[in-house]
Structure 1
Amino acid sequence: MNIPILHNGIANKIENLLSQMTLEEKVGQMTLIDASVVTVGEEQKADNPIDQAKLEEAIVNRHVGAILNTPYTPHNKAQSVETWRKIISSIQKTSGKSRLKIPVLYGIDAIHGATYIKNAVLFPQAINMAATFNPELSTREGEITAREIRTAGLQWNFYPVMDIGRQPLWPRLWETYGEDVHLAAVLGTAYIKGHQGDDFSAPDKASTCLKHYVGYSFPINGKDRTPAWIGERMLREYFLPEFEVGVKAGSPTVMVNSGEVDGIPGHANYHYLTTILRGELDFQGFTVSDWEDIKRLYTRDKLAATPREAVKIAVMAGVDMSMVPFDFSFYDLLIDLVKSGEVPISRIDEAVSRILTVKYQAGLFEAKPHSFYEESPVQLAEAAETNRQAARESIVLAKNANHILPLKKSARILVTGPTANLLSVMNGGWTITWQGDDESLYPKDKLTVLEALQQKSTGKVTYVGGKYFDEKINVQKAVEEAKNHDIILLCLGEKPYTETIGNINSLALDQAQINLAQAMIATQKPVILLMLGGRPRIISEIAEQSAGVILGFLPGMEGGGAIADILYGYYNPNGKLPISYPRHTNGITPYDYKPIESFELNTYNPLYPFGHGLSYTTFQTSGLKVEKDKITRGENINIAVNVKNTGSFKGQETVLLYLNDVAASVSRPNKQLKAFKKVDLDPGQDENLSFTLTPHDLSFIGVDLKRIVEPGEFKVMVGKETVNFSVTR
């Protein structure tokens, strides 16, 4: 039995508590139910949505160990801090009535701030946080999110997403930190550091959950919860490293891949869940299923012949807690499986010990009833400013022909397009509601792009557009209005979505947006194209004919102001693309392509490459050098480069360092990001930067599926410069 390694007497407490528990109490701890199971219906409009009789049935009679989500599923939406406190207080009080008084762990999706708490600070989504190339901002986001969920009494956050986004059709791409392994690892661990600190039982900290282990983000057809075909080498090279660093960063829980890899559903994959996660990565926490996915081994995947067999397969594969979520079927079936001897009690004890360990580590056994964290006015002000800065740094200026940007404050601007006057299109899914598409629930004090422009402009700003994303725009009216304006701001993109509801068949924009764009370009007025949404929709022809292109993705609640600041030059843009922006619908090739992908007629030809992003000033790197021409396989190597602001504005630049293993026993990418630094420079100012590459940075997954460093030549690339060094035996 794999009992977690513990210190400070927790192991003894776990052993003592486990010895007192009945089978039913143990299996209850492995059961995670939706809040709707213990709350009244939304139509009842209760001040406290808890149904006490249902709650006692779940906790006292069924011994349920965890609850998730907001009340009133499927119309789940953000609740006030006061309502959350009543919910959590009711749960605390009821768990105190149970025989062993084991506290309940409450989980929530707080993926860009405290999603389901009214008036919370809602940050740019992960794809935007990656575009900042600023780990400090990710750490601050984690700190603020943890603080705000603890203010409401919540203790467990289903975040960060450590999958990497290498399939742009996938409707959860924007929940990732982009296509690169190193960038995702750095940003994800920075978030965990902020969210958990050194002790996630602290009153302003909370536990995290790594999602979605493993391979979920690479479905071959691009649709959510469909098969991925990932070989073991590719899995270990691209998809496991982010989870490995997340485990090392101390995240105590892992949510299981809701899809399947190489024909094995995530919830049935013993090799991934036990052999690798436990045996190789040394994960000591507990694994939790995704939504109803144990049942789906029977209903969807046809791996199990019965629901009972599905529970057995999942638990024996290594799933510790089941997000059932609407009933107690998992509880009933697992008790029966143990009583029949089909699931050994040792496996139950293993899972329960992991769950209880996290509860002890989270301080739940020591929690004072009705004690909640209180944010100070200073903390609230700092959080709002951090969010504004994150939004600014996340915007990518992709094109600026003839320096059309920044605009004069007096410029006459025609604003049109479906994303111009909505907050939801800047936030995406998991915002106030699951899909994030109920505009009526968005805060009235936040600014859309249009409203932010009107607030900052001294010139004429005219809007031609619909009230909702899919409302038909009067194109002829827009054409007529364009005659009276200097600039057209064309706002295109996507409506909010997440998960399977966001599945699409093509990255192409819908025809209505293309028609509007063509009509605006035909006016021969300068067009600034602004894209908002979670995926890189195809804009090649529009971008070619536009004077400027801004890729906003999902910059959060402060996105409108951030975009206006950049358009008018109040802020100098510095965001960099964390993905390759495709030129064609099927032109999906990541930046770290293999040599065969750029050979003869094959090319890497995105519209905008990974790391692309312009500024209103210019930067130049020079003097790239390595400390040694030769190192042994166990040595680090130090690298230096100079970066200078060669323009006339103060600005920030992200210096990206790439590595290429020139020849190896397994084909190597043309380059891989291994380090980056972001610097703030005045005009004419320069700075010498130093980087250290470790043997791990030089390694890859070899022929025998083991990580190795092979002797040979390596190239280091920064900007336009390349230097070589060699590794000897």
Structure 2
Amino acid sequence: MKSVGTALFAAALLAGCSTVTRVAEMPAATAARPSEDARVADLLSRMSVERKVAQLIQPQINSFTAEDMRRYRFGSYLNGGNGGPYGEEFAEASEWLKLADEMYLTSVAPMPNGEPVIPTMWGTDAVHGHTNVIRATIFPHNIGLGATRDADLVRRIGEATATEIEVTGIDWNFSPTIAVAQDDRWGRTYESYSEDPAIVAPLGAALVEGLQGRCGEADRLGAGHVIATAKHFFGDGGTDQGVDQGEVTGDIEALKRIHAAPYPAAIEAGVEAVMASFNSINGRKMHGNEALLTGVLRDELGFDGLVVGDWNGHGQVAGCTNTDCPQSLLAGLDIYMVPDEWKGLLETTVRQVEDGTIPMARLDEAVGRVLRVKMRAGLLDEMVRPSERPNAGDYDLLGSPEHRAIAREAVAKSQVLLKNTGVLPLKRGANILVAGSAADDIAQAAGGWTLTWQGGGDLDNSYFPGATSIWSGLRSAVGQTGGRTTLSADGSYAAKPDAAVVVFGEEPYAEFSGDRKNLAFSDEEGLTLLRKFKAEGVPTVAVFLSGRPMWMNRELNAADAFVASWLPGSEGAGVADVLTGARPFTGKLGFSWPSRCDQGPLNGPQGALFPVGFGLDARQRSSLPALDETCAPLLAGQGSDWFVRGRFESGVTARAGNTMLPDLRGSASGVSATGIDRNAQEDSRQITFTPGSSLTIAQESAGSGAYRILYRVAERPGEPVTLTIGDAALDLTQPLSVAAGKDWREMVITAECAPGLGDSLTFTSAGAFSFDIAEIGREELADGTRCSF
């Protein structure tokens, strides 16, 4: 068997897009441009160790100041999914640009000792448009774009996204994700174009070209373009049981043929950065895997750009912490993404260079790669502040009509029609009822990575000026054909409609918060509406919003037409276009659709209800035979996990006063719940109480078993803290005081101290107090098991 390096990767280009010479034709000694080498060598010769190390440190905007930038001169920085300028998550675009100027100007202030001035660069996760910023165009997530198979469309999306990024003065996009998702239970499935690398590769390369510009063209990395990042190298979509950041096992050559296969196309397209993956491969974390980060990515693929880490990913390497990890740099990482603990890592790394743990040659190699990318992006040529660059401050470009038109086209082309007995296209002049709570919910249609990391939650339509919900799109489209529409979330109506469109689906999530144990869709809102309309003789169209294929046999049986809408984003009119026949259905599945609810990995036609490539057009009729509706996971009821990996299980809620806190996030009635990192990004919560405030966490249906809570207390409470559970009110003041400063501990509440237990937990603090929660679960313990704290 040929290696991937000889069979697949021979076409990868060296030195960015500086030459069209192929790797196989180029002597190794002349692989990089001499002018680049000379310039980089000159800069390195005049930089101190501390300044070199600072080029490899990437903090997040909420953890450092402009004065820190002036002092340390970070090579780059980022905004997290929940981070905005000056601590304001929903800041206007002008504030983003203002912060970009501040950080840039302090990064290029004259150095007191004459060292060269190296501008910083700002990186962001604009994974489906510049969606951290209000008013930006929200494109469909990758799973939808994979259904289009349209590389030119994806390229245009990249160009529009790059322009909107430039409006805010940002230099670098952490996109595209070119994962090949192999298990749809994975919470990042929607970031993958397809389970088939042959579909992923051309679309990933097209987005690179859209973001950066095409190789050989004069405007590459110029006006209208930003630095792109192919991620996550590699295996992120192949973890066992679809567990995010988990383990990938198997023969390395076989794994490369699937998970590394999209990278040659991205490299040939000139991608300047690659992000290392969180996952392990055969027991070794990618952030510390020299054989793959250097041996495969550099030596086999010929990648010569920079390798950036993911959020504290280096801290997961064996023997490492967030502030001490020479292993990652030695393995081939060039930039540490260290959101908050940057100072400790910077100081430790400087010492490790000085004592020889990290050879100077390896430090210079990593810094040189960062400098080369900055050089290619023009950041070292003319010292121009972000606000004076092309497109900066032209706020009309955010969500411009031209960009929204591209997004609307993408939405229409991404819709996949799985069933149609004849109700579609909707008849001209018809009376259409639009039902379901998601019909007029732009945030749900956009999914995760939209204004906030997880998306959804408290984001109502007011957060999306200029955007169009599916309901709004249908109202306009049906009206233009002489028909009329009525919005009725609960499906009630006065006059019987000619047809009903039911919009429903998954609540938004991101990363590990979206991991699932099975593919059973348990929310029955859509199912109830479809069955109601069927009983009343109303033809129905099911529009399913999701980040993955799911077991939908019940809904497919009940609906007259079924559309896999994925996560379409801000242009709901694109959904209306295909439902009304203004555009044809052309979308084809990029993922196998499960026929059973308890299926694990499903890749290929065997066991699939619909295979990759399936998709009807509106002229085709497909009634489907009656599908099996048996689903053991649904019959099993609620799981024992209430809160785990930063997300509530279905049926578990939190509220402060009368306000719900989705996934234990938000502020109300004196309680604030914010995401913190334990083992992964925002997998835990810090709960802060003002005097007299209360937080209630409850399960909607009856559960059983003792409560197990993983918690941490930084400072002992000054006033009483109580936990009301069932018929008992437990005084937690003393145990919380004992737990203070002792890191994570378990609290086990059994019937021994809380008879009856019940299905809710209410924490109340008489004074100002804060503690952290990582997990809440229920489990059956032996009778008589004592409570412990």
Q: For the superposition of Structure 1 and Structure 2, which TM-score range results when normalised by the shorter chain?
A: 0.7 to 0.9
For residue 130 of structure 1, report the CA deviation from its aligned partner: 1.1
For residue 154 of structure 1, report the CA deviation from its aligned partner: 0.8
1:111 to 127, 142, 149: 127
Distance in structure 2 (CA, Å) of the matches to 1:216 and 1:113: 22
Distance in structure 2 (CA, Å) of the matches to 1:229 and 1:142: 33
For residue 554 of structure 1, report the CA deviation from its aligned partner: 1.0
What is aligned with 2:639? none
How many residue pairs get aligned? The number is 572
Aligned residue identity for 1:311: C
Aligned residue identity for 1:145: T
Unaligned runs of 5+ in 2: 1-27, 622-789
Matches within 5 A, 1:337-376: 337-367=352-382, 368-369=384-385, 370-374=387-391
2:588 pairs with 1:555: no
Helix, strand or coil: the match of 1:233? helix
Helix, strand or coil: the match of 1:107? strand
For residue 496 of structure 1, report the CA deviation from its aligned partner: 1.1
For residue 24 of structure 1, report the CA deviation from its aligned partner: 0.5
What is aligned with 1:608? 610
2:547 pairs with 1:527: no
2:595 pairs with 1:583: yes
Deviation per residue, 1:678-699 (Å, 9 max, x gap): xxxxxxxxxxxxxxxxxxxxxx
Query: Percent of pairs identical after alignment?
Result: 30
Deviation per residue, 1:197-216 (Å, 9 max, x gap): 13543121111011100001
2:453 pairs with 1:443: no
What is aligned with 1:656? none
1:11 to 37, 47, 68: 37
2:176 pairs with 1:160: yes
2:474 pairs with 1:453: yes
What is aligned with 1:544? 557
Matches within 5 A, 1:392-541: 392-401=412-421, 403-437=422-456, 438-440=458-460, 442-457=463-478, 458-465=482-489, 478=491, 481=493, 484-513=496-525, 514-541=527-554
The change in CA–CA distance for 1:577 and 1:77 in structure 2 (over 3 A counts) is farther
TM-score normalised per structure 2: 0.69
Helix, strand or coil: the match of 1:365? coil
Cα contact 1:3–1:354 (8 A) shared by 2: no
Distance in structure 1 (CA, Å) of the matches to 2:591 and 2:320: 41
Deviation per residue, 1:376-414 (Å, 9 max, x gap): 98994432222211111111111111x221112332333
What is aligned with 1:182? 198
Distance in structure 2 (CA, Å) of the matches to 1:24 and 1:152: 30
Cα contact 2:194–2:200 (8 A) shared by 1: yes
Deviation per residue, 1:616-651 (Å, 9 max, x gap): 3479xxxxxxxxxxxxxxxxxxxxxxxxxxxxxxxx
Helix, strand or coil: the match of 1:481? coil
Unaligned runs of 5+ in 1: 39-53, 298-302, 466-472, 594-603, 620-729
Aligned residue identity for 1:373: P
Distance in structure 1 (CA, Å) of the matches to 2:332 and 2:160: 32
For residue 522 of structure 1, report the CA deviation from its aligned partner: 3.4
What is aligned with 1:389? 409
Aligned residue identity for 1:55: A
2:156 pairs with 1:140: yes
Helix, strand or coil: the match of 2:247? coil
2:105 pairs with 1:93: yes
Distance in structure 2 (CA, Å) of the matches to 1:531 and 1:244: 34
For residue 497 of structure 1, report the CA deviation from its aligned partner: 1.0
For residue 11 of structure 1, report the CA deviation from its aligned partner: 1.6
For residue 520 of structure 1, report the CA deviation from its aligned partner: 3.8
For residue 459 of structure 1, report the CA deviation from its aligned partner: 4.0
Cα contact 2:530–2:559 (8 A) shared by 1: no
Cα contact 2:135–2:465 (8 A) shared by 1: no
What is aligned with 2:48? 22
For residue 74 of structure 1, report the CA deviation from its aligned partner: 12
The change in CA–CA distance for 1:489 and 1:395 in structure 2 (over 3 A counts) is same
What is aligned with 1:290? 310
For residue 463 of structure 1, report the CA deviation from its aligned partner: 3.2
Aligned residue identity for 2:521: L
Deviation per residue, 1:129-177 (Å, 9 max, x gap): 1111111101101111111111221110000001112211111111111
Distance in structure 1 (CA, Å) of the matches to 2:350 and 2:558: 65
Deviation per residue, 1:512-550 (Å, 9 max, x gap): 334444444333432211101212121113213321111
Cα contact 2:419–2:560 (8 A) shared by 1: yes
What is aligned with 1:727? none
For residue 583 of structure 1, report the CA deviation from its aligned partner: 1.4
What is aligned with 2:212? 196
What is aligned with 1:210? 230
Cα contact 2:305–2:373 (8 A) shared by 1: yes
2:235 pairs with 1:219: no
For residue 464 of structure 1, report the CA deviation from its aligned partner: 3.2
The change in CA–CA distance for 1:231 and 1:77 in structure 2 (over 3 A counts) is farther
What is aligned with 1:55? 66
Cα contact 1:580–1:589 (8 A) shared by 2: no
- RMSD of Structure 2 on Structure 1 (CA): 2.5
Aligned residue identity for 1:63: R
For residue 321 of structure 1, report the CA deviation from its aligned partner: 0.6
Helix, strand or coil: the match of 2:593? coil
What is aligned with 2:701? none
Helix, strand or coil: the match of 1:127? helix
Matches within 5 A, 1:34-45: 34-38=60-64
Distance in structure 2 (CA, Å) of the matches to 1:545 and 1:90: 57
Distance in structure 2 (CA, Å) of the matches to 1:355 and 1:120: 29
For residue 361 of structure 1, report the CA deviation from its aligned partner: 0.8
Helix, strand or coil: the match of 2:433? strand
Helix, strand or coil: the match of 2:517? coil
User: Which stretch shifts more, 357-366 or 109-118?
Assistant: 109-118
Cα contact 1:423–1:442 (8 A) shared by 2: no
1:326 to 337, 340, 343: 340
Aligned residue identity for 1:69: N
Cα contact 1:60–1:98 (8 A) shared by 2: no
Cα contact 1:132–1:576 (8 A) shared by 2: yes
Deviation per residue, 1:565-609 (Å, 9 max, x gap): 22222221111111111111234565546xxxxxxxxxx132221
TM-score normalised per structure 1: 0.74
Aligned residue identity for 1:233: E
Distance in structure 1 (CA, Å) of the matches to 2:232 and 2:589: 23
Distance in structure 2 (CA, Å) of the matches to 1:132 and 1:32: 35
For residue 78 of structure 1, report the CA deviation from its aligned partner: 4.9
